């Protein structure tokens, strides 16, 4: 029987996950189906029960259900526990469900593919919401020299820094306190890009040739990446590689095969470009 996988979210119509996983399955010669399912708010548990009872093998979970999936999983990986959110559920041989979070490792793998250094780097993370919480453990495991979290609402940054300080040098700052500081890598994890906004950043924030990564993506360069380009960044990337990277790690968890991400990123980029022209 064909193994069944799906992504649950709300909204879900524009999810790229079915395309990505079908590409992976074809590449790896795997007999599997992957569908998307619009789940009404408050009905995650019932929908997941129905999916797994009908023989489903694994789920991806996106907005707004990552916390529901966290509670739903019988067991959690260490990184999912730290993230406080689950984006991948995998049915185990003993019939239990393992909850994982592959967002952070997806981003780190993308940076590795791009050839960006991480060890010893001074890293600034903008934002302190769920997206940022999801990447902190994998980021800190790369042994950066320091991680600074800056957020509009300072106490959220402070809470995150407290929650991860056992993993390395991590500190919370306000945007104003960034004045006079320089970073080798700046990651935008705010949702400001979605509305075309930018946090207030000092002019001299970027070390010469710094790398700038936006966890968001779109057919056009995000406002953060436009700012970075105008302020001396040497390397820019948006979050499309992270999207494909998190999917690749989910696929690996389910099928024990690590698919090639680069051709899938390129294909998605071409599709997006066509839509915008
Ligand atoms: P997500 O799950 O995408 O991280 P979230 O938990 O709502 O969503 O977090 C959104 C993040 O973007 C927060 O850090 C938010 O800052 P606040 O904590 O101060 O709300 C940040 N953000 C959103 N719009 C912003 C803007 N216009 N300027 C600066 N930060 C912004």
Domains, in order of start, for the chain = 3-101+241-276 (3.40.50.10860), 116-238 (3.40.50.720)
129 CA to centre of ligand 1 in angstroms: 6
- Neighbouring-strand partners of residue 61: 8
DSSP 34: E
Mean pLDDT of the chain: 96
Residues 77, 112: contact at Cβ < 8 Å?
Answer: no
Whether 200 has a pLDDT exceeding 50, the answer reads yes
Strands 170-173 and 183-188, how do they pair?
Answer: unpaired
Q: Which residues pair with 212 in a beta bridge?
A: 186, 236
| Whole-angstrom distance, CA of residue 37 vs CA of residue 11 | 9
Residue nearest to atom 26 of ligand 1 (CA): 192
Cβ 193 under 6 angstroms from ligand 1: no
pLDDT in tens, 75-102: 999 999 999 999 999 999 999 999 999 9
CA of 74: how far to CAs of 37, 67, 70, in Å?
22, 13, 9
| CB-CB neighbours of 50 under 10 Å | 12
Q: Is 191 in the pocket of ligand 1 (CB under 6 A)?
A: yes
3-state secondary structure at position 60: strand
Is a pLDDT exceeding 50 seen at residue 190?
A: yes
Query: Token digits for 271?
Result: 């599709």
Catalytic residue check, 271: no
Give residue 193's pLDDT: 83
Q: Is the CB of 157 under 6 A from ligand 1?
A: no
Span 92-144, pLDDT tens digits: 999 999 999 999 999 999 999 999 999 999 999 999 999 999 999 999 999 99
The band of 29, judged by pLDDT with boundaries at 50, 70 and 90, is very high
Residue 154 CB coordination number (10 Å): 17
pLDDT of residue 275 exceeding 70, the answer is no
Residues 33-87 have pLDDT tens digits of 999 999 999 999 999 999 999 999 999 999 999 999 999 999 999 999 999 999 9
User: Residue 273: its pLDDT value, please?
Assistant: 83
190 CB near ligand 1 (under 6 Å): yes
User: Residue 176 pLDDT > 60, yes or no?
Assistant: yes
Angle between helices 103-114 and 240-255 (to 10 degrees): 120
In the block, which residue shows the tokens 């009908």? 54
CA–CA gap between residue 107 and residue 118 (Å, rounded): 12
The rounded Å distance from CA 98 to ligand 1 centre is 29
Element (H, E) at 243: helix 240-255
Catalytic residue among 16, 36, 66, 156: 66
Q: Is 131 in the pocket of ligand 1 (CB under 6 A)?
A: yes
User: Rounded mean pLDDT of 180-189?
Assistant: 98
User: Is the entire prediction scored with pTM above 0.85?
Assistant: yes
Distance between CA 17 and CA 256 in Å, rounded?
Answer: 18
Residue 3 scores a pLDDT above 50: yes
Residues forming a β-bridge with 146:
122
- Nearest protein Cα to ligand 1, atom 25: 192
User: pLDDT by residue (tens digit) across 218-259?
Assistant: 889 999 999 999 999 999 999 999 999 999 999 999 999 999
């Amino acid at each position: 029987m064909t193994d069944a996988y799906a992504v649950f979210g709300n909204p879900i119509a524009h999810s790229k996950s079915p395309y990505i996983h079908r590409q992976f399955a074809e590449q790896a010669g795997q007999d599997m189906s992957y569908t998307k399912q619009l789940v009404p708010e408050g009905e995650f548990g019932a929908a997941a029960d129905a999916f797994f009872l009908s023989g489903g093998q694994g789920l991806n979970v996106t907005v707004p259900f990552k916390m529901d999936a966290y509670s739903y999983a019988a067991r959690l990986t260490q990184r999912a526990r730290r993230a406080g959110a689950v984006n991948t559920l995998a049915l185990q041989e003993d019939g239990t469900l393992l909850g994982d979070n592959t967002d952070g490792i997806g981003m780190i793998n993308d940076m590795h593919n791009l050839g960006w250094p991480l060890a010893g780097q001074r890293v600034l993370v903008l934002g302190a919401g769920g997206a940022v919480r999801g990447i902190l453990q994998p980021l800190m495991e790369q042994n950066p020299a320091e991680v600074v979290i800056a957020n509009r609402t300072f106490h959220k940054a402070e809470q995150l820094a407290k929650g991860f300080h056992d993993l390395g040098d991590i500190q919370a700052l306000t945007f104003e306190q960034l004045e006079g500081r320089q970073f080798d890598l700046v990651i935008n994890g705010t949702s400001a890009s979605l509305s075309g906004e930018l946090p207030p950043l000092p002019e001299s924030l970027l070390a010469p040739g710094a790398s700038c990564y936006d966890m968001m993506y779109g057919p056009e360069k995000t406002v953060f990446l436009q700012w970075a380009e105008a302020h001396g960044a040497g390397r820019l990337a948006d979050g499309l590689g992270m999207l494909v990277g998190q999917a690749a790690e989910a696929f690996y968890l389910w099928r024990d095969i690590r698919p090639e991400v680069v051709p899938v990123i390129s294909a998605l980029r071409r599709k997006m470009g066509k839509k915008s022209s």
